[in-house]
Chain A
Amino acid sequence: MPSDKNQDLNYSKPRPGQEFDIAVLPLQNTTLFPDTVVPLAVGRERSSKAVEAALSTEEKLLACFTIRTPDVTGSDAKPSDIYEIGSIVNIKRMMRNEGIMQLVVQGMERIRVIDWLQGEPFIKAKVQILPDLRMVDKEECEALRRNLQTMIHEALAKLPNVPPEIRMSVMSQNDPVQLSYFLASVLDLGVETEQKMLEASTVDDLLSLTHAALARELEIMELRSKIATEAQTEIDRAQREYILRQQLKAIQKELGEDESGEKADAVKMRERLETADLPEDVRKEAERELRRMEQLPQAAPDYHVIRTYLEYILDLPWRKSSIEKLDLKEAERILNEDHYGLEDVKKRILESLAVVKLRPDSKSPIILFVGPPGVGKTSLGRSIARSLGREFDRISLGGMRDEAELRGHRRTYIGAMPGRIIQTLRRVGFNNPVMMLDEIDKLGNDYRGDPGSALLEILDPQQNHTFRDHYLDLPFDLSKVFFIATANQLGPIPMPLRDRMEIIQIAGYSDQEKLHIARQYLIPRQITENGLQEKHLAIKDDAVNLLTSRYTREAGVRQLERAVGNIARKIALKVAEGDERKVSISAKDVKSYLGAPRFYPEEARQQLPAGVATGMAWTEMGGDVLFIEATLLPGGQGLTLTGQLGDVMKESATAARSYLWSHATEFGIDPDAINKNAIHLHVPAGAIPKDGPSAGVTMASAMASLLSGKKVRSDTAMTGEITLSGLVFPVGGIKEKVLAAHRAGIKRIILPERNEADIDEIPEDVRKELEIIKARYISDVLKAALESEVTPGRMEEYRAPRKAKKPSAKVAPAIHK
């Protein structure tokens, strides 16, 4: 037996507690257990030296300890970084491979460090062999061992590709300690757990640690297999879809539908894109979308979305303008040809066009035509387009309530479309059309949206050169577009919008003008439209006049044209039946074609009782006359107002009464008549709401007439706002009102003096037939309106109920004063 004097002791008969000196190999992330065979690769210098030292001993023994901290490597591990319990191993094989030593080692015994002997050139320590593991509770150990075996069974069932020899040796391993050590080295449990298992000093501890570790591993395995199954299902479905799609493609190819397939589509699109004249940023965006489209299969939902989008981009006139041929003489000729009268309007249009001509690059003006229906606002727009040589298109804004209708929907929405502006430009094909925004006063504006605000951008020359439709999401230059808006009323148009437009008011036509229009435009047009010829039908002037006065009531000529059309249709029936004789229609024939007159001229109560006055009103349809009736309620108090009057109108009624009261004697009124009686004022027709201050003079006249007993002259109509101090203020809509009064057969008109300028607007032929009285004070009005004689009647009684018992003659002087 060799002595123990050299460092490699005689290990042949290991005894627990035996101590010896040995080279140490620190291990990273690995724990070596007794009874296991493990391959190791050693490359670091200090580790190699330790292995060399071990190899030079007779029994090739080496001590392996695991490094405690994971980020310390084997070459610089200090003793303090290393666990103190490890294994002694026997090196069974060694091969050198490119400077790395590959070892196969077998764990032998557990050892504990007693003393660290050296750190360089390799670590050397005095170690002691630890005793074998004690078994504390035999039954429990057996139970745990069997449990382990069951779990191993389970694990192996999940691992079909385990080599059979391993399967065999694991299953046949009955020693619980060896089994545990084997499992610990097979499973990747982490350094800490593995070290704990190595340090376990009883079989019981070791087994329960192994049990816990294996149970955890099993759980992970189960989870993994579950995830793998799910992933597999997902993959299977995608694969199935792919295969079906390929088949579909093959079928389409067989059916010859491939030609119109995605490739051809995209290729066509690319050709168009390359030849299209697009701004740089638009082209970039289009290229990007096209690339996306080329990568998509035709069946993808996005494919068609992108396709429509690209088509829109390619169709839009980004840079295409129609050539302008602006000749002011020609423009004037066209305007005159298309429209009779409207001299002011035409003049203003020509002025605007002149600016366009002088500065072609200037922002196009935005014109707003305001006027009653049927006066030719839309056709004026058409004439402007014609005289400019530009395209014309109109967008009706009436009832539009969604901003998206103007500006489009974002492309994220299904079925998204660009707004009406962009759609119109695409249809027109030029970027400088005359675009008519019809009925701008009837834009909806409520909780559902406010398209008017979108119009603010569209109609602002400062902003609209980069108009961004939500759908396109690209800036489009609208500044070349000639916008014309129309409205019936200015009121509902929001201020900021009104502010952006040049407002041109178009009032109604007089009967004389209507006659001209009918002669020049309506009758010839209706004759052609109904398939007739000049030789079939003639409508005489007196018939036209009858139509305008008794069969229609409007500021424009739309109903008149319809009435003419009506007659023309009846003639057309006759002609179609073979009777080609010319029919000449005069006033007396109208009734047989159109039936009884629908309207009676609002003339015109021939005799007005005291307390009734004729006023003039402005309506959307033009003007109208209205009668204000006042009556005295004996013994009552205050003022009753009926006829759906607005606040302003009510207030001016009160003002009229107060003025008369305070100036009673001046107008021959007994103050007591006002003081002791109530007045009821009514404005027919009761169903129509009325408002505004312009009936002030009329109400004052009616009340003055009532209280004084002097009738208001029935041939006189009046308008004007009054003040408490007796002034008459100017009002609007003079032309319409005067025309209406003229239609109604009124001969005298009382207007505020300050409305003098408006008198010029009244057509010459109408003005000639009227006596126009300019009033500055209410007294002027009353003087002109009231008859000078007191008409005897019941009013007498009301005026002085207190003195009713006395002879009324006594009262009279006061009144006549």
Chain B
Amino acid sequence: MAKTINRYFQLLSSSRDVKPSARLWDPAADIYTAPDGWLVKVELAGVSAEDIEIEIADSCLTLSGTRRDRVAERGVSYHRMEITYSRFEKTIQFPKSIEGASVETSFDNGLFLVRVRK
């Protein structure tokens, strides 16, 4: 019986390998505490700096934007695609409000750095 139901389940899910998902690409981020505040490092390789928007509300820092495929040359076509090109939105919550803090951003080898200084 277990087998039957197993098969049934596979019928349901395996054949249509659907996963629940957040709406958007969720880039990975590291968060450091620094003597003068916070350092946030986000994997945003291939996203141009002008495509990234930063928003601060209370204790939340939200990064959003879109990674676009801008490297593609004329006349090429995909053989394989593994990089996600999509809009993203990353919200980082800090222990306390960071409103009014100064924010400084930079790119370092594809990593987007956000310094939050109180």
Which positions in A face B, CB cutoff 8 Å?
1, 10-12, 14, 30, 34-39, 52, 55-60, 90-96, 106, 108, 158-162, 166, 169-170, 173, 178, 182, 185-188, 221, 224-225, 228-229, 232
Contacts and interface: CB of A to CB of B under 8 A. Distances in A.
B9 A161 contact: yes
B94 to A, nearest CB: 24
B104 interface: no
B77 A52 contact: yes
Contacts of A173: 20
B68 interface: yes
A173 B2 CA distance: 27
B17 A38 contact: yes
Given A35-B21, A59-B86, A188-B11, 20 more contacts: A38-B17, A52-B77, A52-B78, A55-B78, A55-B81, A58-B69, A59-B68, A59-B85, A60-B81, A60-B85, A106-B21, A108-B23, A161-B2, A162-B13, A173-B20, A188-B12, A221-B8, A224-B4, A228-B4, A232-B1
A661 B8 CA distance: 109
Nearest to B21: A37
A35 B80 contact: no
B5 A228 contact: yes
Contacts of A37: 18-21
Interface of B: 1-2, 4-6, 8-9, 11-13, 16-23, 50-51, 65-66, 68-70, 72, 77-82, 84-87
A575 to B, nearest CB: 90
A12 B50 CA distance: 12
Contact of B81 (A57, A91, A166): A91
Contacts of A36: 18-21
A739 B68 CA distance: 137
A12 B19 contact: no
Contacts of A12: 51, 65-66, 87
Contacts of A178: 20
Chain B CB count within 10 A is highest, among A10, A58, A170, for: A58
Chain B CB count within 10 A is highest, among A92, A108, A173, for: A92
Contacts of B18: 36-38, 182, 185-186
A58 B87 CA distance: 11
The 5 A-B pairs at the shortest CB distance, nearest first, are namely: A58-B68, A94-B81, A12-B66, A228-B4, A169-B20
Contacts of B6: 161
Nearest to A1: B50
B22 to A, nearest CB: 8
Contacts of B50: 1
Contacts of B11: 188
B26 to A, nearest CB: 11
Contacts of A232: 1
A13 to B, nearest CB: 8
B72 A11 contact: no
26 contacts: A12-B65, A14-B87, A34-B23, A35-B21, A35-B23, A38-B18, A58-B69, A59-B69, A59-B85, A60-B86, A91-B81, A93-B82, A94-B81, A95-B80, A159-B5, A166-B19, A169-B20, A173-B20, A185-B18, A186-B18, A187-B12, A188-B12, A221-B8, A224-B4, A224-B8, A225-B1
B78 A35 contact: no
Contacts of B70: 58
Given A161-B6, A169-B20, A55 B77 contact: yes
B5 A158 contact: yes
A633 B87 CA distance: 140
Given A166-B13, A188-B11, A224 B5 contact: yes
B16 A38 contact: yes
Nearest to A232: B1
Contacts of B86: 59-60, 90, 92, 106
Contacts of A55: 77-78, 81
B64 to A, nearest CB: 8
A376 B81 CA distance: 113
